[in-house]
Every structure is written in structure tokens, then in C-alpha cells.
Amino acid sequence: MCGIAGIIGPNPSEAELQKMLQAQHHRGPDHTGTYFDPGFAAIGHNRLSIIDLSPDANEPFIDNSGRYYLSFNGEIYNYKELKEELKPHYNFKTSSDTEVLLAAFIYWGKECLNRFNGMFSFAIWDCREKKLFAARDRFGVKPFYYSEADKNLYFSSEIKTLKNVIFDTPPNLKVWANYFSYGSYGMPEEAFYSNIKQLPGGYLLEYSEGRLKLEKWYNFVSRVQNIRSESSIEQAKAEYLELLKDSIKLRFRADVPVAFNISGGVDSSLLLALVNMFEDKQQVNAYSFYTGDERYDELPWVEQMISTTQNPLHKVLFSASEVQTNAIKMSRQQDEPFGGIPTMAYSKIFEQAHANGVKVLLDGQGMDEQWAGYDYYQTSGSIIQGTGQNSPFRTHVLNPEFAALAQKTEYPEPFDNRLQNLQFRDLFYTKLPRALRFNDRVSMTYSTELREPFLDYRLVELAFAQPEGYKIKNGVGKYMLREILKPLVPSTISYAPKRPLQTPQREWLSQELKAFVEEKLLHLKNTSATDWFDHEKIQKEWKKYLAGDNTSSFHVWQWVNTALLL
């Protein structure tokens, strides 16, 4: 995992590039590298060494001819297999996946993207043709932000990196208004700040002579529609399980220690069970957070699972007293609104892992979207988990002019059924992009790499294509996944219900953190967002919350988070 940065155009400044790299130094503290093509390009890289720890794999990485310069964030998990294919065509000098990526591009061109199994965001500068080629992985696991300013194209791994050199980046009012009105975190190409854009997952970018071209290289819909889904459930289980084992095996490729995160749910329990099929369980550490509140903590399920595998378990406590400091830190790292106290508690895992010398963690993200695990797939409830049928939004506190900027997004519906269209929305527009952004910034804050075995594109496509009855049965989501897990773990784990709330955020905000919230609500009046709100109405809602109207705490966190960010 690393950070990429660059300036392409007639005025690439060495000083600006250094400022960009410094802003995201936490993403790669092991080495900082630069390349300058005066009058055309400045390419930079922050390295976190995971595969081939030698200086030979430092970046920007130069090909044998000296023509191409690569800055790469992520991992190509099938790099060993690709390297064998490419050996007749390229003389390799390192054992890194970085060199394999560059060799693949040189030999296959942009078609190399379809051969990669991994998470990636990279930029390749062609110093002969004076062209930039960049791409982002299928689901947007790794970030790519860019901005056109002062006749240059700037790109980076984080928003703060661009804001460090581009000053005309006021809040994107439409995105903010949608956030307060609908809980949206923007479309795949949008950011919460004007003049900053994202390269969507599954897209490539080309830039030459001031002309920018975007192209969609990953067509998820057509690939899913080409998968035959007439298999029996036993056949589907067997095929999926074999792919899952291969995905996990690939994601253990590293030259540094690998550990994993575990909650008490189906997804991470399956990950734990399968990890121990390949690795020495005494060597693979598990991490889980808890708050000390038995109403929310998943430790009983975690400990039950660990008792069957005997992996070393690191239990990380997150307390209310840590929220204020952590909220400030996380807001600075996330750059945009994030998921509240659960995200902060999750960050403690990476802090502890980093302290223990662990550089790579595996996580169970992605199963709910591909196997229909969210409760609203079976109801018409809110897409904010844990609020029931009550609205988590308080749009009446918004000033009418600001509220009028909100426009409910109509998401594409490329499939012929409601369930797959909801899953498609969550995979590419709502749930997953949001979670991946939260997770990337959290892990990178502590210079650790997060790998998502369940987001192997082969798994997502196969699961998505399965009949609804394999996903939901008798009101239970992730049905086939639970059936796969059942022989591997206690039945109380394989059919445990999904628990959407993992921290006492609702209680802490009104009790232990009451003074902190009130301080931030007061500060909100002094931010650039002050005119967005009717602050008297916010105070009325806050009093109602303190009086017990706290089915949802999302609106309170929205206001606090905004005060921290702006």
C-alpha cells in the first residue's frame, strides 16, 4: 500500500510535488521517490514496502528501456502467474509486483487491466510520447483523485494532497446537501470539494497535451450476465468455495507479517476458518475491537469462534474518553464525512497492529453486497443500518436555499429484478464505495495495508449471478454463504443474525460525549457551513435527542463531523 502523486502539464513544480508527498507521507513512510520531466511531468511516490522489500523496487519505477515511469498504490495478487507469462517478453530485475504491473502494461497495453487480480491505483508516464496512463481497480478499493488547475493535471491518493497545492477547492454544495438530505456520499466521480474529482472504480484515464480522456474498462454487468446460474446450490457452493480459498491464498502473498480483523459475524468467521486451512494458526494473529458495552460488543461471538481455531487474539478496547482526540485525527485523515464512532473504534485495530509490527491485515468487507446481507434487501427500510423504519435525516434544520440543492440520485438499474439492482447500487454507488474509502484512510493512517479477500472480482461476479433463493431463504440473508460456513464453525456463528450496531454511539453522544457534541454544535456556527443550517432548529433536535429521541444518532454525528471538517 502506498501513495501516488503527480503533476502533468507545462508547469510541474518540484516544490509542489514535495508538498503533495509530505501531505500523504503516512501512506508510505518507507521511501519517498520523485521523477521530473521538465516542462511536462513530475511524478511522486510514498512507499510502504510489502513485496520485495529491497530498494530495487522503490518507485517511481523505471522500465528497462527508461521510457516508462510507474507510481503504483496497491497489490497485484496474481503477479507470480503473470510474471511467468511475461518472462519471454521482459527481463525482470526484481521480485516485486510493481515490475510485473509495468511489464504487463508494456506488453499488453491497457488490456493488462483485465489480467490483474488485485487492488490498484496507478499512473504510468511515457517520457517519449509525453502521455499519462492511469487506472483504478474494478471496485475502487484504492483511491485516485485528480484536479485540473493552472493548465496542469494534478493527481493523488488523497484529497488533502491536492488541497495542499490547489487552493480553489470550496465545499461542493450539491454533494453536501445530498449528504444531509439522503445520506449520500457522492457519485463515483464526485468529491465533497469543488474542483476535485475521483476516477471511478473500473475506469482508466489518459492525458496528453492538455486533453483528458476517461474510459470504462470493467463492464461488470455484461460479465455477470454471461455467467450461467443454472447450477444446483451444491455445485454453486463448491465452485464458490474453491474460488474463495484461492482468493485467500493469493492475499497471503507478502514479505511482511499478515494478520486479520475479526468480528462476531458470518463474514469474518468464514475468513478465519479458511485462513487456518492455509496458514499456521499460531502464526496468524486476529484483532477485534470492543467498547465494554455488552449490548453492542461482539466479543462473545469472537471468543467462541477463536476457541475453535486457537488463533492468538488481540482484543482492542475503545472507550468514550478517546473519541474527541480520535474524531479530530480521523476527520483530518478522511478529508470527507465518515462513519462515526464505529470507524474510530475500527481504527484502533490498525493502531495496535502497527504497534505490533504488523503491516498487512485481512478483512471481510464485501459479502453483504454480493450475498444480499443487509436487512433492507427484504424490506423498504432506510439504507442507514440500525435505524429501523425511522428516518435518520433531519432535513428541516437545513436552510431552504441550501436544501434545494439536494437532488435524490436515480441509480442505474441494469438488471431485470429489484434485488440485483439494489446490490448493484450498493456495490458501485453507495455502501461499498463509502466503506472502502473509510477503510483505506483508516488503514493508511497507521501505515498498514488492508486486503479484502471477498472482493476478488471472480467471487463478486459469481455470487451476484446466483438466483435470489441462494442469497435469501426464509427471511435469512447470505443463505448460501451461511451453508458454506456451517460445517466449519459452531451453528450459533453460521446462523447468527447481522448486528448493524457495534458501538454505543447513540448513548455516548448524549451522555459521556454530551459536552463534546455541544462544543461542536457551537463551533458549527463559525465554520464555512454556518449558512447551511437553522441553528435554533438544530438545538431543538439536540434537546429532543437528549430527552430520548435517539433511535438514530446519524444526524447528530453529521453535524459534529461537519464541524470537525470545515
pLDDT in tens, 379-415: 765 555 444 557 889 999 999 999 999 999 999 999 9
Contact 556, 517 (CB under 8 A): yes
Contact 368, 374 (CB under 8 A): yes
Q: What is the pLDDT of residue 387?
A: 47
The pLDDT tens digits of the residues spanning 523-536 come to 999 999 999 999 99
Mean pLDDT along residues 85-106: 98
Q: What is the pLDDT of residue 100?
A: 98
Per DSSP (E only), the strands in 94-202 are: 118-126, 131-136, 145-149, 152-156, 197-198
Inform me whether the pLDDT recorded for 174 exceeds 90: yes
How far apart, in whole angstroms, are the C-alpha atoms of residue 189 and residue 89?
36
How far apart, in whole angstroms, are the C-alpha atoms of residue 157 and residue 27?
9
Residue whose entry in the numeric block shows the C-alpha cell 470504462: 216
Domain ranges for the chain: 2-218, 226-387+415-497
How far apart, in whole angstroms, are the C-alpha atoms of residue 419 and residue 293?
35
Contact 236, 250 (CB under 8 A): no
Residue whose entry in the numeric block shows the C-alpha cell 466479543: 299
Q: What is the pLDDT of residue 555?
A: 97
Report residue 188's pLDDT band, with 50, 70 and 90 as the boundaries: very high
265-to-30, 152, 371 alpha-carbon distances in Å: 35, 47, 14
Tell which residue, 293, 347, 298, has the closest CA to residue 320.
293
Looking at residue 496, what DSSP letter applies? Answer: P
Task: Supply φ then ψ for residue 107, to 5 degrees.
Answer: -85, -45
Residue whose entry in the numeric block shows the C-alpha cell 460456513: 485
91-105, 248-262, 499-513: range with lowest mean pLDDT: 499-513
Q: What is the pLDDT of residue 384?
A: 55
Tell which residue, 71, 206, 79, 62, has the closest CA to residue 142.
71
Q: What is the pLDDT of residue 282?
A: 66
Contact 199, 6 (CB under 8 A): no
Contact 154, 144 (CB under 8 A): no
Inform me whether the pLDDT recorded for 469 exceeds 70: yes
Task: Supply φ then ψ for residue 251, to 5 degrees.
Answer: -85, 5
Q: Name the percent of the chain lying above pLDDT 70.
A: 95
How far apart, in whole angstroms, are the C-alpha atoms of residue 238 and residue 484?
9
Contact 21, 32 (CB under 8 A): yes
Say which amino acid occupies 423. Q
Partners of 131 in beta bridges? 126
Residue 88 makes CB contacts below 8 A (sequence gap 6+) with none
Q: How many CB atoms lie within 10 A of CB 154?
A: 25
Q: What is the pLDDT of residue 10?
A: 96
Strand ordering across the sheet containing 131-136 = 61-62, 68-76, 118-126, 131-136, 203-208, 211-216
- Kindly tell me the sign of the dihedral angle through the C-alpha atoms of 165, 170, 173, 174: negative
- Kindly tell me the sign of the dihedral angle through the C-alpha atoms of 178, 375, 436, 134: negative
How far apart, in whole angstroms, are the C-alpha atoms of residue 97 and residue 57?
9
Superfamily of chain region 2-218: Aminohydrolase, N-terminal nucleophile (Ntn) domain (3.60.20.10)
Average pLDDT, the chain: 93
Inform me whether the pLDDT recorded for 155 exceeds 60: yes
Mean pLDDT along residues 262-285: 80
CA atoms within 13 A on the CB side of 440: 28
Report residue 131's pLDDT band, with 50, 70 and 90 as the boundaries: very high
Q: How many CB atoms lie within 10 A of CB 153?
A: 21
Q: What is the pLDDT of residue 491?
A: 63
Inform me whether the pLDDT recorded for 173 exceeds 50: yes
Q: What is the pLDDT of residue 360?
A: 96
Contact 47, 194 (CB under 8 A): no
Q: How many helices (H) and strands (E) does the chain have?
A: 23, 17
Inform me whether the pLDDT recorded for 554 exceeds 90: yes
Residue 195 makes CB contacts below 8 A (sequence gap 6+) with 147, 148, 149, 166, 168, 169
Inform me whether the pLDDT recorded for 231 exceeds 90: no
Tell which residue, 511, 564, 484, has the closest CA to residue 235.
484
- Kindly tell me the sign of the dihedral angle through the C-alpha atoms of 550, 554, 560, 563: negative
Inform me whether the pLDDT recorded for 121 exceeds 60: yes
Say whether 97 counts as a known binding-site residue: yes
Strand, helix or coil at 493? helix
Residue whose entry in the numeric block shows the C-alpha cell 478483512: 363
Mean pLDDT along residues 151-179: 96
Mean pLDDT along residues 23-49: 97
Report residue 502's pLDDT band, with 50, 70 and 90 as the boundaries: confident
Mean pLDDT along residues 85-109: 98
Contact 176, 529 (CB under 8 A): yes
Q: What is the pLDDT of residue 386?
A: 46
Report residue 229's pLDDT band, with 50, 70 and 90 as the boundaries: confident
Q: How many CB atoms lie within 10 A of CB 362?
A: 25
Cis peptide before 257 (omega within 30 of 0): no
CA end-to-end span of the chain, whole Å?
28
Report residue 301's pLDDT band, with 50, 70 and 90 as the boundaries: confident
How far apart, in whole angstroms, are the C-alpha atoms of residue 97 and residue 103?
10
Q: What is the pLDDT of residue 496?
A: 60
Residue 2 makes CB contacts below 8 A (sequence gap 6+) with 27, 28, 45, 46, 47, 48, 59, 72, 73, 74, 157
Q: What is the pLDDT of residue 228?
A: 78
Partners of 286 in beta bridges? 260, 313
Residue 547 makes CB contacts below 8 A (sequence gap 6+) with none
Report residue 498's pLDDT band, with 50, 70 and 90 as the boundaries: low
Active-site residues: which are they?
2
The pLDDT tens digits of the residues spanning 425-441 come to 999 999 999 999 999 99
Pick the CATH number of 226-387+415-497 from 3.40.50.720, 3.40.50.620, 3.40.50.1100, 1.10.3720.10: 3.40.50.620
Contact 562, 427 (CB under 8 A): no
How far apart, in whole angstroms, are the C-alpha atoms of residue 176 and residue 561?
12
